[in-house]
Amino acid sequence: MKKPRLYNGTLNHQPGRINKFLDRGKYFPKLKFIYDMLILRLFVSRILFSLLTLLIVSMVIFSMVELLPGDVVSRMHGRMVTDEQRAIIRAALNLDTPAWHRYLIWLWDILQLDFGTTLAQERPINDVLGPKIKNTLILAALAFVLYLPISLVSASIQAIKRETYVDQALSVFTLILLSTPDFLLATLLLLVFVVLLPVLPAMSIVDQYSTFGEYIRALVLPAMTLSLVMSVYAIRFLRDSLIEVLDSDYIRMAELNGLTRGQIIWKHALPNALIPTLNITALNVAYLMGGVVIVEKVFGFPGFGSLTIDAMLLLDVPLIEATVLIASAVYIFSNLLADIGSILLNPRLRSFTIPK
């Protein structure tokens, strides 16, 4: 007779009679230990796969940068360099060694959080990255603060008022935003809040001497642009997920128990509907770190995206490698956190078969 499989600590048949004895290994420590080990193995496999992906991405980045045209020494010091000076500089930069050797040296320095020295400014890249990443993180935090209420409120209204004029109007508006490029949306916001209603600055230029009020005013327009760009994706997914949850049996039971519509939405439906949107949120977080290039350029904001563009324009090889690798790492580990969050929040994703 074929042995039954165990899912989440319960047998896949005879649930009423046996589940109470096998409730996630409560009365069977060995089964609970196996269950915990399977969960741990799943987490470890996700982490190792992310690290392997990042390693492959680093190889691709280094290989693509090696294919850039021009000579590094010429970009640093111009063409008025003697052959002897050129040989000394190439030896100092390890350019006289094979590419695989330079990659290993670069990777070892990265593991020690040493990104090298910029070619254009001849400054440590860590010193250049610090202020830029700080500015982008502040901008990302403000954009995320705006993104959450826009997404949650809009999706909830559409789910509650589904197939009504309100739902259709919000859907049309969302589709318009979805089809609008980042630079065009930023330009429209500049037209409204700088030209027609001159209440905000056109350029988001900040420095260490800017006051808190000037800093916030400079961040409003780019943060609004980013939050609108991100929210259109989340709204569509969250709306459909909320409608599916609201049609479930336990929501009907909650209505029969006399719970208000607000309690049902915010306490019961929304937490379960958020699970499918975790991947979208992870992509948005990655976008906030590595995909804000256009928005930062439109508003002149001195952030990580602007630094990446400047490095590419100057063909600053070490800075290009550092910025692209950091953006890739944020993207990869944001998806890793989304996967782990989905597993923790959704028990169905933690279903395993106990090996014989």
Q: Is 354 exposed, middle or buried (0-12, 13-18, 19+ CB in 10 A)?
A: middle
Give the model's pLDDT for residue 6.
45
150 neighbors 239 (Cβ within 8 angstroms): no
Residue 215 pLDDT class (50, 70, 90 cuts): confident
Residue 33 pLDDT class (50, 70, 90 cuts): low
- Residues 6+ away with beta carbon under 8 Å from 116: 106, 109, 124, 125, 318, 321, 322
Q: Which residues pair with 124 in a beta bridge?
A: 117
Q: Which two tokens stand for residue 59?
A: 């190889």
Pairing mode, strands 6-7 and 10-11: antiparallel
Tens digit of each residue's pLDDT (9 = 90 or more) over 147-204? 988 988 888 888 888 888 988 898 899 889 888 888 889 899 999 998 888 888 888 7
Residue 337 has pLDDT above 80, yes or no: yes
Q: Which two tokens stand for residue 323?
A: 């910025």
**What number is the average pLDDT over the span 265-290?**
76
Give the model's pLDDT for residue 206.
75
pTM: 0.75
**Amino acid found at 322:** A
Q: Which residues pair with 99 in a beta bridge?
A: none
The DSSP symbol for 117 reads B
- Residues 6+ away with beta carbon under 8 Å from 101: 94
| Structural domains of the chain sorted by starting position, each given as residue range(s) with its CATH number in brackets | 1-120 (no CATH), 125-313 (1.10.3720.10)
Tens digit of each residue's pLDDT (9 = 90 or more) over 226-244? 999 888 888 888 888 888 8
CA distances from 201 to 147, 288, 301 (A): 22, 22, 12
